[in-house]
């Protein structure tokens, strides 16, 4: 059964905290265009919601998100890739989630399970990250034949240093605990407590006068956007999503087989 777009993102407000939940658990909350559009709509709703001052972003089921839906996005026909300028439809881009706003309210990411590729980018863009112990993160672009430059820039912006370089080049998984040791995330909680802790921090933030909080968020995201846009421009110019190596890697992922050999073209 196809996903119902109306239920792909859940929105709930309590104590001036909006909890926004990616709700495609049958696909580990993988982002197709419908989920991208629903997430954008939820974030715009939060931005304009007078009853919410802080948002907590989380995922239903076994993972925060496994990243891009390889079947739909990365195996698009070449003509569609060229039309969109990449694998995401122009009106469903995850790059706009934290930046297409007016009021600059803080967003806390509360991930668990897996946070891969595109989802890692969303988490790193959030103002704070509170993860469940054992959560696994990955820059999936490296093993897929794509550039990890955007993720290096985001990790480095949060203070990742050489850790940002290593994870972006190798594509190796890293845990919440490793990420916290290098100050990439803010807190690691015991199993099952990540969402409650994120909501607790959100309520603490919401007790402050909102305008000063939002000004801090705005400045942070402006600086982050500048760094990210430089990396994204270089990534798009390379057009690695149109290469033979990328297509081989994406097909191997869908067909559940080892990828390769790669020919550098």
Give tens-digit pLDDT for 161-185: 999 999 999 999 999 999 999 999 9
3-state DSSP call for residue 118?
helix
Within a domain: residue 241? Answer: yes
- Strand arrangement of the beta sheet that strand 54-59 belongs to: 9-14, 17-22, 54-59, 107-109, 128-132, 187-189
Residue 42, in any domain of the structure: yes
Inside any domain, residue 157: yes
Whether 37 is covered by a domain: the verdict is yes
Task: Report the number of distinct structural domains present in the chain.
Answer: 1
Look up the CATH number of the domain holding residue 89: 3.90.226.10
* Whole-Å CA distances, 152 to 3, 73, 138: 32, 22, 11
Helical residues (DSSP H) of the chain, grouped into ranges: 33-48, 78-84, 118-125, 149-157, 161-170, 176-181, 194-206, 210-238, 244-255
Average pLDDT estimate for 223-236: 90
Q: What's the token pair of residue 8?
A: 């792909």
CA–CA distance, 54 with 249 (Å, rounded to integer): 39
Residue 202 clears pLDDT 50, i.e. is over it: yes
Q: Is 11 within a domain?
A: yes
- How far from 103 is each of 191, 218, 228, CA to CA, in Å? 33, 8, 21
Average pLDDT estimate for 4-12: 87
- Residue 1: pLDDT over 60: no
Query: Residue 76 has what pLDDT?
Result: 55
137 exposed, middle or buried (CB, 10 Å; 0-12, 13-18, 19+)?
Answer: buried
Per-residue pLDDT reduced to its tens digit, 36-87: 999 999 999 999 999 999 999 999 999 999 998 877 655 556 666 566 556 6
In a domain, 122, yes or no: yes
- How many DSSP H helices and E strands does the chain contain? 9, 9
Q: Check if the beta carbon of residue 44 is closer than 8 Å to that of residue 100.
A: yes
Structural domain containing residue 97: 5-193+209-255
What is the tens place of the pLDDT at every residue in 103-135? 999 999 999 999 999 999 999 999 999 999 999
- Reported pTM: 0.89
């Amino acid at each position: 059964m196809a996903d119902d777009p109306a239920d792909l993102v859940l929105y709930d407000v309590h104590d001036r905290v909006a909890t926004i939940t990616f709700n495609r658990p049958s696909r580990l909350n993988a982002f197709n265009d419908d989920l991208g559009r629903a997430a954008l709509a939820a974030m715009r709703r939060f931005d304009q919601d007078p009853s919410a001052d802080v948002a907590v972003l989380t995922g239903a089921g076994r993972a925060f998100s496994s990243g891009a839906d390889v079947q739909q996005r990365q195996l698009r026909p070449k003509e569609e890739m060229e039309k969109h300028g990449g694998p995401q439809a122009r009106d469903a881009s995850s790059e706009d989630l934290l930046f297409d706003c007016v009021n600059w309210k803080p967003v806390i990411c509360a991930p668990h399970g897996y946070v891969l590729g595109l989802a890692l980018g969303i988490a790193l863009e959030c103002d704070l990250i509170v993860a469940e112990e054992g959560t696994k993160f990955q820059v999936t672009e490296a093993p897929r034949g794509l550039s990890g430059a955007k993720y290096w820039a985001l990790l480095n912006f949060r203070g990742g240093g050489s850790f940002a370089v290593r994870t972006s080049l190798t594509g190796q998984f890293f845990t919440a605990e490793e990420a916290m040791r290098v100050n990439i995330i803010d807190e690691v909680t015991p199993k099952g407590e990540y969402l409650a802790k994120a909501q607790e921090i959100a309520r603490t933030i919401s007790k402050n006068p909102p305008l000063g909080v939002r000004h801090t968020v705005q400045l942070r995201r402006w600086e982050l956007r500048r760094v990210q846009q430089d990396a994204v421009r270089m990534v798009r110019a390379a057009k690695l999503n149109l290469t033979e190596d990328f297509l081989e890697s994406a097909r191997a992922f869908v067909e559940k087989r080892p990828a390769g050999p790669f020919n550098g073209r």
